[in-house]
Amino acid sequence: MVQASESDILSIGGVLNDSARPLKERFRALFTLKNIGNAMAINQISTCFNDQSALLKHELAYCLGQMGNPKAINILTSVLEDLSQEPMVRHEAGEALGAIGEPSVIPLLEKYRKDPVLEVAETCELALDRLKWLESNNNTENLQKNLYSTIDPAPPMDITNVDILKEILLNESKSLFDRYRAMFSLRDIGTKESILALTEGLKAGSALFRHEIAFVLGQLQEEVSVPGLRASLENTEENEMVRHECAEALGSIATSECYEILNKYLNDSKRVVRESCIIALDMCDYENSLEFQYADALTKLPA
């Protein structure tokens, strides 16, 4: 946690909740609040779920899950249960509930594993599997820190053979939880071979699966994945949740080619894709700057 005064938290929350501010400033405010991580920061984040941007609301839910604070459970429950929220927002709320890791949410997740929106149903199924895995392994996952300091939807497997992991990843007869476990194992191996195996996942499985593949490729930040990410972003028939994640992954990789690709889709017909390209270009600027972390510039923003 980062220490901050109440007045600072309110000021940062004011940036987040000000729809007149540029989206990139609001995202930086959000990640600053995530790093602060206390109850007051959670409250400032929670007040933004009535925003018009599905992209921002989905990121609110993601950050609440990554904070790992049970105080966020009630707000995430409300978001998951709100059928007027966009599917990508409800999905992220379900994933966040799994990330927090409290068994008390199992009945709620059991209910929404049957949701008519496939992305929501699959997410709740994954979250349930994660909670069961944690219980059966006595929460040992909490002792395993990955290189990205993220709480993942599934733990990696105890397998290091890329061919075996690739077979599991792309085998749609396997459970989604096992395929996610293979995904995070391939990420943690981090070789060109394992990354190319992951890029094949951009053409396999459900939209939820493909979007997670793109997220993982963004974490890896390797140029070898750019052609696959580009193809998915350029495919206007692809689910917007997948295209959005491909845009942000390209922003993390931040080569000159990525800049060029992202600029082409700033006027995309899908709002979430347009906004993702705005954020991704800001990420490109950050990756090519001397800033220590993405939220650092927030403290320099005018009130």
Annotated binding site: 58-59, 91-92, 211-212, 244-245
Is residue 236 helix, strand or coil? coil
Q: What are phi and psi of 290, to 5 degrees?
A: -100, 10
Which DSSP symbol is given to 156? P
CB neighbour burial string for 146-165, b if at least 16 within 10 angstroms, e if fewer: eeeebbbbbbbbeeeebeeb
Return the C-alpha torsion angle 267, 219, 242, 49, nearest 10: -80
Q: Which residues are annotated as a binding site for Fe cation?
A: 58-59, 91-92, 211-212, 244-245
Q: 44 with 13: CB under 8 angstroms?
A: yes
Residue with tokens 């992951």: 198
Tokens of 36: 């602060």
Question: Hey, how many other C-beta atoms are within 10 angstroms of the C-beta on 5?
Answer: 9
Question: Hey, how many other C-beta atoms are within 10 angstroms of the C-beta on 54?
Answer: 21
CB neighbour burial string for 274-283, b if at least 16 within 10 angstroms, e if fewer: bbbbbbbbbb
Question: Hey, how many other C-beta atoms are within 10 angstroms of the C-beta on 134?
Answer: 18
CB neighbour burial string for 100-124, b if at least 16 within 10 angstroms, e if fewer: bbeeebbebbeebbebeeebbbbbb
